[in-house]
Amino acid sequence: QTANSIASVLPIPTKQQPLLLNFNENSLGMSSKAQQAIVHALPQAFRYPDAAREQLIEKIAESHKLKAQNISLGNGSSESIQAVVQMAIYQAQKAGQKIQVIVPDPTFNYAELYAKALGVAVIKVPLNDKLAFDIDAMKKCADEFPGVSIIYLCNPNNPTATITPAEKIEPWIKAASERTLFLLDEAYAEFVTDSHFRSGIELIKQEFKNVVVTRTFSKIYALAGLRIGYAVAHPDIISQVEAFVSLDNTNTASAVAALASLEDKTFLTISRTSVETSRKIVTNALDKLGLEYLPSQANFIFHKVPGEVKVYQDRMKEYHVFVGREFPPAVGWNRLTLGTPEEMTTFVSVLNEFRAKGWV
């Protein structure tokens, strides 16, 4: 089946309306309840967002069975990541201690970027031969460092979409010295079904002070453009993080949309089911084409492409399909966002056409 032959049932990507499978957004679009909440709140948006902000913090805390003091809102979880990194660097330097950031490679790079901007060393520990975190090597880096280490662990990881099981992470956190702060980025946690995953929030409930978890409304709740996320940690840590986020950082639209999203359980289920269906469409196609992929636990999938990934990406672009990029040192792999099932059917038809042309 070619892209043209399915034109009558599926939208064909065009220059004006390309198929965007490159930024791990949620193509479903936000919950209609979230949209209605924004429209409803707009006439009052000339006021500062304090009331909506407070309500949202309460609601997030309640959803995790924690207190408001455990939550710090961010303008996207990006701001929360930035604030945590800045806070830890400030605290270490104030105490006259050295500080470094340890990250797996490849991973989502914001912790790295914010640390580098402050002149702090970032140690990149390559993934192992299974493209999983090399926890032992990361731990060794922290143990051998005469100072404070921020350990950034993205779970599920971006770009691999794979989880790191709790049994690999928790013993380390529980036994780690006071000189170690774990920043667990759980932007995609709501998509996970694998029972070996456990949120770091469980450790925060056990009062561990060396863990901060970041979450976002950008992914499962499809609010990426509204910029809303948060950090979860012990109240003593949250109060330090709060000193580094911008004051009144939440806009009214994002706050009410996030609140409505948390209340809309149906949307959450639809979002999850949609990604599962899309994933199945893609993995069936990859299986048929004999293209290797990692077990995805998020709204994207990391798969192999033969030849240069850049060439593949450019050819997809010619078909108005924007796929993700290569993430060295994982050479030969491409990150593909899982859009709606319809979008992924279109993607598969293009991929099949690539096979017919001998491109994949």
- The DSSP output letter for 92 is H
Q: How many residues bind ligand PLP (CB under 6 A)?
A: 13
Closest separation between CB of residue 306 and ligand PLP, Å? 26
| Cα of 158 vs its chain's centroid, Å | 6
Q: Which of 77, 86, 199, 261 binds ligand PLP (CB under 6 A)?
A: 77
Distance in angstroms (rounded) separating the CA atoms of residues 28 and 321: 17
For ligand PLP, give the closer residue by CB, 31 or 345.
Answer: 31
User: CB of residue 217 vs ligand PLP: minimum separation in angstroms?
Assistant: 7
Q: Judged by CB under 6 A, does residue 78 bind ligand PLP?
A: yes
Please identify, among the stretches 5-13, 34-42, 57-65, 74-82, the one whose residues bind ligand PLP according to the rule CB under 6 A: 74-82
Q: What is the DSSP letter of 330?
A: B
Q: Measured from the CB of residue 234, what is the shortest distance to ligand PLP in angstroms?
A: 21
**What is the rounded distance in angstroms from the CA atom of residue 278 to the CA atom of residue 300?**
9
Q: Using the rule CB under 6 A, which residue among 108, 191, 312, 347 binds ligand PLP?
A: 108
* Bridge partners, residue 335, by sequence: 302
Q: Which stretch binds ligand PLP (CB under 6 A): 62-70, 72-80, 243-251, 266-274?
A: 72-80
Minimum separation from the CB atom of position 218 to ligand PLP (A): 3
Using CB under 6 A, which of 111, 154, 176, 294 touches ligand PLP? Answer: 154
Minimum CB distance to ligand PLP, residue 79 (Å):
7
**Do 173 and 124 contact (CB within 8 A), yes or no?**
no
**C-alpha to C-alpha distances, 46 to 43, 49, 62, 226, 249, nearest whole angstrom:** 7, 9, 28, 17, 15
CB of 64 to ligand PLP, least distance (A): 17
| Beta strands 300-304 and 333-337, pairing class | antiparallel
187 forms part of the interface with ligand PLP (CB under 6 A): yes
Q: Minimum CB separation from ligand PLP for residue 48, in Å? A: 22
Q: Which listed range, 39-47, 75-83, 264-272, 318-326, lies at the site for ligand PLP (CB under 6 A)?
A: 75-83
Angle at 298 between CA 32 and CA 112, to 5 degrees: 105
CB atoms within 10 A of CB 127: 20
Of residues 4 through 33, those in contact with ligand PLP by CB under 6 A are: 24
DSSP line for 211-267 = EEEEEESSSTT--GGG--EEEE--HHHHHHHHTTSPTT---HHHHHHHHHHHH-HHH
Among the listed residues 27, 72, 158, 274, the single contact to ligand PLP using CB under 6 A: 158
Query: What is the closest distance, in whole angstroms, from the C-beta atom of residue 118 to ligand PLP in the complex?
Result: 19
Residue nearest to ligand PLP (CB): 76
Q: By the 8 A CB rule, do 230 and 61 touch?
A: no
Query: What are the Cα distances from residue 336, in Å, to 167, 313, 322?
Result: 28, 10, 9
Q: Which of residues 206-235 bind ligand PLP (CB under 6 A)?
A: 216, 218, 224, 229
Say if residues 61 and 71 touch (Cβ distance below 8 Å). Answer: yes
Catalog residues that contact ligand PLP under the rule CB under 6 A: 24, 76-78, 108, 154, 158, 185, 187, 216, 218, 224, 229
